[in-house]
């Protein structure tokens, strides 16, 4: 049914749960699996121009975190049953929700899988919800796990 699944990851427990679902679906349907990690744009506009070390440290830490998240998913792909080939992707300089949707379109994914932290009330209002934005922007089905 699904030929190409895009898994959005941020290394959190919620995305680890989503990764388990995505790997299981990829195994069940014989799908390709792409894991995308979106690095938020550098939050200190203007500061990086004065102190480029801040920007470099931010990007190095984000890339390291992305590599760890991708390694966890790769380990899941190798466990139990036939191994699944994983394509790891990194997106920079765009908001998280937009980066996920753009990557799904660019890769030709027919399903997006992502985790939700399950925030509600004021926390959701203040922090926003990436999963809600992805559902609203995506042209392909989105599976949100909690």
What does DSSP say about strands 142-145 and 111-115: parallel, antiparallel, or unpaired? parallel
Total of domains in the chain = 1
CATH number at residue 70: 3.40.50.620
Burial of 132 by CB count in 10 Å (0-12 exposed, 13-18 middle, 19+ buried)? middle
pLDDT in tens, 8-54: 999 999 899 999 999 999 999 999 999 999 998 877 666 555 666 77
Residue 127 has pLDDT above 80, yes or no: no
**Domain residues for 134?**
4-145
SS3 72: helix
- Residue 52, pLDDT score: 67
| Percentage above 90 pLDDT, the chain | 64
């Amino acid at each position: 049914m699904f030929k190409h699944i895009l898994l959005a990851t941020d290394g959190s427990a919620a995305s680890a749960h989503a990764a388990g679902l995505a790997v299981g679906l990829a195994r069940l349907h014989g799908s390709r699996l792409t894991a995308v990690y979106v690095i938020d744009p550098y939050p200190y506009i203007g500061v990086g121009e004065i102190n480029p070390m801040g920007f470099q440290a931010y990007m190095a830490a984000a890339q390291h975190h992305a590599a760890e998240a991708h390694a966890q998913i790769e380990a899941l792909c190798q466990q139990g049953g036939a191994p699944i080939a994983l394509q790891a992707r990194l997106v920079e300089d765009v908001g998280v929700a937009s980066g996920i949707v753009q990557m799904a379109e660019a890769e030709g994914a027919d399903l997006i899988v992502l985790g939700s932290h399950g925030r509600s009330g004021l926390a959701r209002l203040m922090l926003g919800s990436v999963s809600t934005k992805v559902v609203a922007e995506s042209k392909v089905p989105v599976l949100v796990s909690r």
